[in-house]
């Protein structure tokens, strides 16, 4: 399990954050100058060069959002200009994309960050520009919420696999739906029926907490506190849950660690979002106490599982049940080994999960749960202590990626395996690089005693 370093302080990262943002700028510029946009959105690297391969267009917002975060952290206007212009030129199709569950990735990372910067006064206020960003976010959340499946216990936003499919990933994309709600959007369906976006978001969160996260309560013989299933499958005829499944993990009965990390981060930031809402807005979901309880339980459980099932340095292997792990011996009792012969690590899960640990830790500290809050907060810093240095931080000026040893789709064999190796290693992903920047900005603002960074800063 993670060997939590309780001595680490945010200020200890000052020098490394400076190096991080310097490298980040180089990587963004390298992609801008060398990537062939005719290929589509960059997804992950092969031999250090970004290429595209995927099921859907879900990473382009991370590319342009990275430039916006770079400006936020450094104040370099070149990156603001680039992120703003690319959002205007390229992102409109993502607003109306009815075929994906990833609106909180593409559009909150671009339009959302730009609106947040204006709200924070980091860019000049312009009424028409503000309205443009708000309209994009309102529509994006509505399109996301329209991917709706009704089940016996409520409903959920279904994945691109179809109406039977609940993905654990989508908990983080709920950002788009709640932003649309908080911006005052009125979502209408057939017969002008008004659909409550907050209600849909909360029902999706409840379904994710109930079906994607396990609590050691005997759902199956693999039921452990905090493990997650990538996909939960439902019978759309009668609304009953059928089974756990996995698209990118090893099986539905093991834990794909990037899916685990999405849940950690998603539940923690939605707990923070709840503090903006009045009690009356939560009555339809059973009231504040009920909503906070299921979300906090899911956040605690997933963060606990991550701490317990990750090597001592905080970098996880791609799936906690991957069969080759047995050949690594006591792999949880030593640092992760990205160059081993059996199973790859996934640094992108670390970048996402670290933010969840930090946010949950802060949330609990503010509630007076100092022992638990400190545990999660310091675990988050421990992960970043490993992630923000070699062999994970990419210092090669010719490598377009920022964070090395990311994994996309191990079962499909999509990740590049270097010559002479038995496993993929040494590559980066657009989501891993973006979320490393996001958590670096979170930490940077903590170090600088700057305004607290949240996605809902976009609503003022």
DSSP secondary structure, 252-295, as one string:
TTS-BHHHHHHHHHHHHHHHHHHTTS-GGGGGGGT-HHHHHHHH
Average pLDDT in the 65-90 region?
A: 98
110, 137 contact by CB (below 8 A): no
* pLDDT band at 231; cut points 50, 70, 90: very high
Residues in the chain: 460
Q: Residue 280, by phi and psi: left (phi above 0), alpha (psi -120 to 50) or beta?
A: alpha
> Coil, strand, or helix at residue 233?
strand
pLDDT digits 0-9 by tens, 135-144: 999 999 999 9
Question: Percent of the chain scored above 90 by pLDDT?
Answer: 97
Average pLDDT in the 291-297 region?
A: 98
450, 442 contact by CB (below 8 A): no
Which pLDDT score, from 0 to 100, does residue 460 have? 78
pLDDT of 54 > 80? The answer is: no
378, 6 contact by CB (below 8 A): yes
CA 8 to chain centre: 24
Which pLDDT score, from 0 to 100, does residue 105 have? 95
C-alpha separations of 392 from 165, 403, 410, 432, 436 in Å = 33, 5, 19, 11, 11
* pLDDT band at 39; cut points 50, 70, 90: confident
Measured between alpha carbons, how far is 437 from 431 in angstroms, rounded to an integer?
10
- Beta carbons within 10 angstroms of residue 160's beta carbon: 15
Measured between alpha carbons, how far is 353 from 228 in angstroms, rounded to an integer?
13
Domain ranges of the chain: 10-51+144-442
458, 121 contact by CB (below 8 A): no
Average pLDDT in the 157-173 region?
A: 96
Say how many CA atoms lie within 13 Å of 75 toward its Cβ: 4
Question: Percent of the chain scored above 70 by pLDDT?
Answer: 100
C-alpha separations of 227 from 99, 118, 216, 362 in Å = 28, 39, 9, 22
C-alpha separations of 222 from 206, 349, 420 in Å = 21, 22, 35
Measured between alpha carbons, how far is 443 from 452 in angstroms, rounded to an integer?
10
pLDDT of 367 > 80? The answer is: yes
Measured between alpha carbons, how far is 29 from 50 in angstroms, rounded to an integer?
13
- Beta carbons within 10 angstroms of residue 37's beta carbon: 10
Which pLDDT score, from 0 to 100, does residue 144 have? 96
Residue spans of beta strands (DSSP E) within 209-290 = 231-235, 240-245
Measured between alpha carbons, how far is 322 from 331 in angstroms, rounded to an integer?
12
pLDDT digits 0-9 by tens, 92-140: 999 999 998 899 999 999 999 999 999 999 999 999 999 999 999 999 9
Which pLDDT score, from 0 to 100, does residue 83 have? 98
Nearest to 44 by CA among 372, 441, 402: 402
Which pLDDT score, from 0 to 100, does residue 36 have? 84
C-alpha separations of 219 from 165, 171, 203, 263, 274 in Å = 19, 21, 21, 19, 29
234, 167 contact by CB (below 8 A): no
Give the single-character DSSP code of 319: B
160, 56 contact by CB (below 8 A): yes
- Spell out the alpha helix ranges (H) of 120-208: 127-145, 170-182, 197-207
pLDDT of 381 > 80? The answer is: yes
- Beta carbons within 10 angstroms of residue 15's beta carbon: 8
Residue 244 main-chain phi, psi, to 5 deg: -80, 155
Which pLDDT score, from 0 to 100, does residue 40 have? 83
**CA dihedral sign, ordered 415, 419, 423, 429:** negative
pLDDT digits 0-9 by tens, 232-285: 999 999 999 999 999 999 999 999 999 999 999 999 999 999 999 999 999 999
**CATH number of 10-51+144-442, picked from 3.40.50.2000, 3.40.50.460, 3.40.50.360, 1.50.10.10:** 1.50.10.10
DSSP secondary structure, 266-277, as one string:
HHHHHHHHHTTS
Average pLDDT, the chain: 97
Average pLDDT in the 52-72 region?
A: 91
**CA dihedral sign, ordered 92, 97, 100, 103:** positive
Measured between alpha carbons, how far is 307 from 218 in angstroms, rounded to an integer?
22
Predicted TM-score (pTM) of this structure: 0.98
């Amino acid at each position: 399990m993670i060997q939590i370093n309780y001595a680490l302080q945010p200020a200890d990262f000052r020098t490394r954050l400076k190096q991080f943002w310097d490298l980040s700028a180089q990587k963004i510029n390298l992609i801008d100058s060398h990537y062939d946009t005719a290929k589509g959105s960059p997804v992950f690297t092969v031999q250090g060069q970004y290429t595209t391969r995927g099921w859907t267009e879900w990473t382009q917002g991370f590319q342009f959002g990275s430039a916006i975060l770079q400006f936020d952290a450094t104040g370099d206007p070149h990156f603001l200009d680039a992120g703003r212009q690319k959002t205007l030129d390229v992102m409109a199709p993502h607003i109306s994309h009815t075929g994906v569950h990833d609106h909180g990735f593409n559009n909150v990372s671009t339009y959302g960050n730009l609106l947040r910067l204006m709200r924070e006064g980091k860019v000049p206020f312009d009424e028409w520009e503000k309205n443009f960003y708000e309209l994009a976010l309102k529509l994006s959340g509505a399109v996301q919420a329209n991917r709706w499946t009704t089940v016996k216990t409520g409903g959920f936003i279904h994945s691109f696999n179809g109406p039977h499919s609940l993905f654990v990933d989508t908990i983080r994309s709920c950002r788009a739906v709640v932003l649309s709600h908080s911006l005052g959007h009125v979502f209408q369906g057939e017969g002008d029926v008004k659909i409550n976006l907050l209600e849909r978001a909360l029902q999706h969160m409840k379904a994710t907490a109930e079906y994607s996260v396990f609590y050691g309560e005997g759902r199956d013989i693999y039921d452990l506190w905090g493990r997650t299933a990538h996909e939960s499958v439902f019978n759309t005829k009668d609304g009953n849950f059928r089974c756990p499944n996995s698209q990118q993990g090893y099986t539905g009965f093991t834990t794909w660690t990037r899916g685990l990390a999405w849940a950690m981060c998603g539940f923690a930031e939605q707990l923070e979002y709840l503090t903006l809402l009045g009690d009356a807005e939560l009555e339809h979901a059973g009231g504040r106490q009920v909503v906070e309880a299921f979300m906090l339980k899911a956040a605690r459980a997933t963060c606990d599982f991550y701490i317990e099932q990750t090597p001592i340095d905080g970098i996880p292997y791609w799936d906690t049940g991957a069969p080759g792990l047995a050949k690594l011996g006591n792999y949880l009792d030593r640092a992760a080994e990205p160059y081993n012969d059996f199973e790859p690590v996934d640094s992108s899960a670390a970048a996402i999960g670290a933010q969840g640990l930090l946010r949950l830790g802060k949330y609990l500290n503010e509630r007076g749960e100092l022992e638990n809050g400190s545990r999660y907060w310091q675990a988050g810093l421990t992960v970043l202590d490993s992630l923000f240095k070699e062999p994970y931080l990419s210092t090669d000026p010719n490598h377009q990626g920022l964070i090395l040893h990311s994994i996309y789709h191990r079962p499909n064999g999509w990740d590049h395996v270097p010559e002479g190796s038995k496993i993929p290693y040494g590559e980066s992903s657009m989501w891993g690089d973006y979320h490393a920047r996001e958590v670096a900005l979170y930490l940077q603002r903590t170090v600088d005693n700057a305004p607290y960074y949240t996605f809902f800063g976009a609503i003022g």
